Every structure is written in structure tokens, then in C-alpha cells.
Amino acid sequence: MHNTARRAKITVSADGTGLVSQAGMLLLAETARVTGLGEGLSGALARWRPPRAVHDPGKILTDLAMAIALGGDCLADVAVLRDQPELAGLVASDPVISRLITTLAAEGPRALRAIRKARAAARERAWALGGERAPGAGGALVTVDLDATVVLAHSEKENAAPTWKKTYGFHPLAAFADHGADAGGEPLAILLRAGNAGSNTAAEHIEVTRLALTQLPRKLRRRVLIRTDSGGGTHEFLTWLASPSRRLHYSVGMTITEDMQQAILALPGRIWEPACDAGGQVRPGAWVAEITGLLDLSGWPAGMRVIVRRERPHPGAQLRFTDINGHRFTAFATDARRGQLANLELRHRRRARCEDRIRAAKDTGLRNLPLHGFDQNQLWCELVAMASELTAWMQMLALDGPAHAWEPKRLRLRLFSAAGRLVRGGRRLRLRLAATWPWASMLTTAITRLQAYAPG
């Protein structure tokens, strides 16, 4: 039977008062207050505030980070905050923002160091409040994943170049702190590079690792696991990681060489142990083995172990020349002295979560670099990092269950985009959400939790 009821015609007018869109931005504003990110940026950037200036540079960058977290992809998108001063406060105009970005970009490393120092202080506060949900809790290692990605450029921009994927743009290298399987992660460093930058450049892997370590609370810098794909499997980078003065741990992908192929062929069948799936259970058709004793590792760091995974390619997969006897092989190097091979291999394979972090970063402003100058776009990468951090800290401090791991698109659809009405009464300002909004209770609970914290 067809529904013959007619839908009432909706008349639209733009004359409402007291209404706010993107009411969920209050989550981000409260997170910035609790972690002290806004105050930290204000102090760090005080030297770049002109005399008698109305707008504080730290507040401007915080507003930009919030706008990016809400889905903005250019400086002008801060307008979504400007028209709602009750929630976002006084927001600078586009010319003021543009002049600040130009000024900070001209300062180069000096301005970046100031911003990164404020980010590190806010992170330490956020992780302290996060308790057992924060990375490194309970004496565990802080896992830092390194990976590069391609960012396309559709116009002439400084240092944009052809990439190895036969596209045109940039090739940034990023480091992310992993929050675990039931949560997300947060960027520690995003190093902008020209499009033709290599995937296995040791100097840049060392640089981004240094930047990532300075973002960690000082007490955790000796409990870090660095994970990379085979782009990090170089002599220089592994030697740097294995330096006794740094006390870092590593799990780094390795390219299968001819020597490794010969070692794999020499392994007896009984040496191979069953590999684990993502849940820690035995995975049919996959095995692991160690080939350290069959290789000449005299030029590599002392104590380095090489572990190989063998698996049957999935149906329809195209075999590669390194696939021996119809099996696909991958290898990684680690300094781990104890632990089952299957568990060490599973720990390394979980580095794939870094791809999720990159996807989230691209959904939070990294998909396109909107400015022309290279230094300006490096500053944009810092804003992307701050936007991603605000989102990750908000989830860690205020959300439970599956929402703790929601990616940006879902957060915007369900929480950030909620509309509300501001009501004044009894010297208070009250934000009223629609009672029928499915996630209204989650949003109010999260905001209340954040408001219970003292300012950072």
C-alpha cells in the first residue's frame, strides 16, 4: 500500500535568533581550555602580537585549529566560528588571520618551535588527565608510527613536484602516537616535504623522530617504540635508533634482499611457527620465523633481529618476484629480546593503524594544502596537527565506548554538527539541544565532563 499522505510545505526564512549551528564545537573549545592549548599558544606567540592589537595570535591559531577540526579546509572557513561568538568568543577577521600566517611563516623555524612547545605542554596535560586511557599508561611503551603520504596539488605551489605515484604535489612524513586498538591516535609531527622526496631518506626519518620525541612528556621519552615500514629500514636510521643514549625500541620493516631469500629457502619447514591474526588467534595460512642467524648483520646495529612472515596470497592477488614458492614474504627488524615471534610480528603488523591516522588527518585538513608558500603550508600542517590533537584529546577525556574511536567524519555528523538554542536566564547562558537528536545525551555528557576539569 502506498502512503498517500502529503508532506507539509516547508517555508524557509533566515530570521531566527538565539540559534547556533555546530554546537558541538563546544567540545573542542572546552578541550583547548582544559589542556591549556590556547593559553600556551598565547604565551608562546606573545612576541608576534602587535602593540594595541585586539586579537591574540594564540587565540587565532586555536580558532583555526577548531575550524579545521569541524571540517574546514582553508583559512576563510573560520567564519563558522566568527558568527557564533557565544560559543567561540571574539574571532579575528580574514585579513588579520592572513597577516598573522604570513608573519609566522616568515619567521620559519622560530615560530614553529614556539607552536610546538605549546603543543607539547598541552599534550602532557591531556595525557595526565587521561590516566589509564593515555599512551604509556601503566608502564607500557609509547608506540610512535612513522609513515609518508602523498598530498596532491592542483595548482603551482612552492616546492610542489611530481611524486613517485606519478601525481603532482607534496610528500609529507608524519609521526603518530598510537592510542591502541580501541581508540585512535594523534599526530606528533608532520614534516612537509617536496613531492619528489624519497620514501627511505634516513635524515628525514631521523628529523621527524626527533620532532616526535620532543612532543612526548619527558618521563616517557625513554619508553618509546618506533615503528616504520620498509622506508625506515636503512643502516643510518636503524643505527641512530639503536644508539644506547636514546634507549629507544624499534620495529622497522625491511626490504627482502637476495641474502634474505637464500636464508628463507634454507629454513627447515619445522622452524616456521603459526602467525596470529588481529585478535591474537592462530591465523591459517600464515607463519613466522627468525632468520637472524642466517644473515651477515655485521654492518647493522648490535642485537638486531630479523623476523619473516610467510603467508599464502589471497585469491586473485598478483604475485611479486620476491614471492618464493607461491608464498608472500615480509620482513622486519626489531631490538626486542623477549616475546613470542608471532606476538612480535603482530605488534609490528599493527603499524597498519597508521594508515587510519593518515586518513583521519586528510579528513582534517591535510588532503589539500591551501596556501602558496612552502613555509605557509608547513604552518598549515601544524594547524592540522593541532586540530587532530584536539579531537583525539576530546575523545580520550570525554567519550566512552565506540565513540572513543570514531573518525572525524562520524564525529562531525553526530556530535559537532548538532544545532542548538542559546537561552539566557538567571545570569546564565544555557545551550539547549533538540531532545530528538539521537546523540544529544552523549554530547551533553561529554561537555559536562570537560567542564568539570580545571583549566590547564
Distance CA 102, CA 138 (A): 43
> How far apart, in Å, are the Cα atoms of 117 and each of 30, 169, 180, 189, 384?
20, 29, 25, 12, 16
* Helix, strand or coil, per DSSP, at residue 408: helix
pLDDT of 315 over the 90 cut:
no
| Residue 62: per-residue pLDDT | 97
Whether 34 contacts 26, CB under 8 Å:
no
Q: What is the pLDDT of residues 292-301, one digit of tens each?
A: 999 999 989 9
Q: Which residue has the cell 619473516?
A: 308
**pLDDT, average across residues 32-38:** 96
Least confident of 137-141, 268-272, 323-327: 323-327
The sign of the CA dihedral 65, 67, 68, 74 is negative
Q: Choose between 428 and 115: higher pLDDT.
A: 115
pLDDT of 281 over the 90 cut:
no
Distance CA 61, CA 97 (A): 9
Distance CA 20, CA 27 (A): 14
| Phi then psi dihedrals of residue 284, to 5 deg | -65, 140
| Phi then psi dihedrals of residue 403, to 5 deg | -65, -20
Q: Which residue has the cell 613555509?
A: 375
The sign of the CA dihedral 123, 128, 133, 135 is positive
Residue 87: which residues within 8 A CB-CB, separation 6 or more? 20, 22, 23, 25, 26, 29, 81, 431
Q: What is the pLDDT of residues 165-213, one digit of tens each?
A: 999 999 999 999 999 888 889 999 999 999 999 888 999 999 999 999 9
CA 445, 447, 452: angle at the middle one, nearest 5?
A: 95
**pLDDT, average across residues 22-28:** 93
Q: What is the pLDDT of residues 83-101, one digit of tens each?
A: 888 888 899 999 999 999 9
Which helix (H) or strand (E) element contains residue 254? strand 249-254
The interaxial angle of helices 25-35 and 57-69, nearest 10 deg, is 140
| Residue 321: per-residue pLDDT | 63
Beta bridge partners of 143: 225
| Residue 324: per-residue pLDDT | 67
Domain boundaries along the sequence of the chain: 19-108+367-451
Distance of CA 191 to the CA centre of its chain: 12
pLDDT of 18 over the 90 cut:
no
User: With the CA atoms of 387, 389, 390 and 395 taken in that order, what torsion angle do they form, in degrees rounded to the nearest 10?
Assistant: 130
pLDDT of 228 over the 70 cut:
yes
Distance CA 380, CA 375 (A): 9
The C-alpha cell of 307 is what?
A: 623476523
pLDDT of 225 over the 90 cut:
yes
Q: 142-148 and 224-228 as β-strands: parallel, antiparallel, unpaired?
A: parallel
pLDDT bin (cut points 50, 70, 90) of residue 429 is confident
